[in-house]
Chains A and B, each alone.
Chain A
Amino acid sequence: MQNSEELKWALLIASLAMLTMAFCMISFVMYYQKRRFEEEKKINDIEKNYNRLLLDTALNSEETERRRIAQDLHDDIGTMLSLTKLSLNQLNKLVSKIGDDKQDLIMKKSQSLVEETILHVRRITRDLVPTTLERFGLMEAIEEFINKLEEDNNLVISFHSNTEEFPRQGQKLELTLYRIMQELVNNAIKHASCSKIDISLEVDDQFIGLRVTDNGVGFDPEKIKENNLAGLGLLGIESRLSIVNGTMQYERPSSGGSSAFAQIPVMPIPENKPEPLHPFRRERVNI
């Protein structure tokens, strides 16, 4: 009888110990799995931030390089061209005294070529560094961009915004929006065979939206996503947006053509706002 009691106690203790172990095992698996997920998430976040930083640095370097080229063009080639123009003017006076028509014609042609080159250099410098954007803001920069495009192409480009006075945003955000707009419009001109482009800018307390719509041949956004057909331009847009936590949506309007909508959260403007960038000042850009 005593043996029976001992057996019962032994069984009870052994079973309870086994059950405790089972409970501990289940709890451990739950806890450990949760902890590993948290660690994995942390590592992913660090990787993501690191990639973002890399991308940011790359884009900053690109802007710095653009600025350096613009500066060199203006300071070196621009100055030399101006001096060439002055020299040609002096030479022109000498040639006109001789009164040789043929020499006079060659002189006029040379002067005209130099003037044209000076204009080209100015245009390239402005394209490289959007000074209007930095001095006057996004709306003015877009308007200037549209004016230039309409001069060179047989295109109708319209621009409208939901506000009269578009509030100034951080330098990085404005530049991102401007570059995206540039890329989308250039894409529409290059690939969509369109005759009309519509740019709209919407701003509220939380988001800034930029929509570029064209009436061209259009494309299937799903196919591009599925087949990884996005070219460097679209990838560049995605990269720029990822730095400012923005999103991109491509749509196919029922009326035809295509529409791209970029949305970026409004970021607080830093208190020590940097001075407007000047294309002709040699400095590193920190956007």
Chain B
Amino acid sequence: MSEIYIAFIVRKPIPSIAVFITLLPLILLVVRKAYLDPSFKLLLFYLFAKLVIDLIMLHSASLHRNNLIFYNLSIPLFYALLSGMFYYKINSQSYKRLLTFTMVGFAAFTIWDIFHSNSELNDMHNHRAVLYSMTVQGVLIIAIILLYFYEIIKSLQIPNLLTFPFFWVCSGLLLYFSSLIFIAPVLHYTATWNNSIDLGIIRTIPFIFEILCAVLFSVGIYYFPLKDYAKQ
């Protein structure tokens, strides 16, 4: 059984690294007790959920099974967890209310998109990636990050952004979703069993930035002020 996985990892090293690199921020988060902060607690859930889903997808991909249903279902879950992180960080009540609406609205939109992208939901073998949801998620996350940056600049409460953990988390997410935003809708057409279009190196760009995102998460968690939170 392990040969199948090893063969897959050797065949697709960058996507595989993108799966296992999640362990780095996850372990750091636990070691540095960053989960004591509510936003980082949600980041812990996000990383854990991402690792589990990625491993299931890796397992399915190794066995040449269609795993896109996990990709589609993970979108609203990841959005809820990521926007939840910002819910605790953003100060403005109106932005918080807006975030709550987008969480509910986006979940409904993704469900609609799954049905819209797959006329035959029972046919798991030919299940396709959602057409709009991933792009919408990217746009929403980028917009939330920009709002958060705007608040940071306006409030002037953080003297040095380079040692502020959540800034690194935001930077990682911004880069990852920027790399994915144009590629995501194309996956609906290319990620199929009878695909004639091979995106080649472009398909690996989001994986590279997923790895970079995990590294930036780790940097942020490394700067987490352990001494201040260990007392709690």
Contact = CB atoms under 8 A, between A and B. Distances in A.
Contact of A36 (B153, B162, B186, B209): B153
Given A8-B200, A29-B149, A22 B156 contact: no
Interface in B155-201: 156, 158-159, 161-162, 171, 174-175, 178-179, 181-183, 186, 196-201
A223 B175 CA distance: 51
B202 A11 contact: yes
Contacts of A8: 199-200, 202
A34 B199 CA distance: 40
A80 interface: no
A232 to B, nearest CB: 34
B205 interface: yes
Contact of A30 (B161, B175, B200, B201): B161
Contacts, number: 62
A32 B167 CA distance: 14
Given A8-B199, A8-B200, A19-B209, A33 B161 contact: yes
A4 interface: yes
**Interface size of B as a range:** 20 to 34
B203 to A, nearest CB: 9
Interface in A123-149: none
Contact of A19 (B153, B161, B175, B200): B175
A134 B159 CA distance: 46
Interface residues of A, number: 22
A18 B178 contact: yes
Main secondary structure of the interface of B (DSSP, over half): helix
A11 B186 CA distance: 9
A25 B149 contact: yes
Contacts of A29: 149, 152-153, 161
Nearest to A22: B178
Contacts of B153: 29, 32-33, 36
Interface in B56-70: none
B36 interface: no
Contacts of A12: 201-202, 205
Interface in B134-159: 142, 146, 149, 152-153, 156, 158-159
Contacts of A21: 178
B175 A22 contact: yes
Contacts of A4: 196-198
A53 interface: no
Interface in A197-211: none
The interface centre, meaning the residue of B146, B159, B196 with most chain A CB atoms within 10 A of its CB, is B159
Contacts of B171: 26
B145 to A, nearest CB: 8
A37 B197 contact: no
The interface centre, meaning the residue of B182, B199, B200 with most chain A CB atoms within 10 A of its CB, is B182
A97 B182 CA distance: 122
A264 B112 CA distance: 73
Given A25-B146, A33-B152, A37-B159, A15 B179 contact: yes
Contacts of B161: 29-30, 33-34
A36 B153 CA distance: 8
A285 interface: no
A29 B166 CA distance: 13
Question: 8 closest Cβ contacts across the A-B interface?
Answer: A22-B178, A14-B182, A18-B178, A29-B149, A22-B174, A4-B197, A26-B171, A11-B202
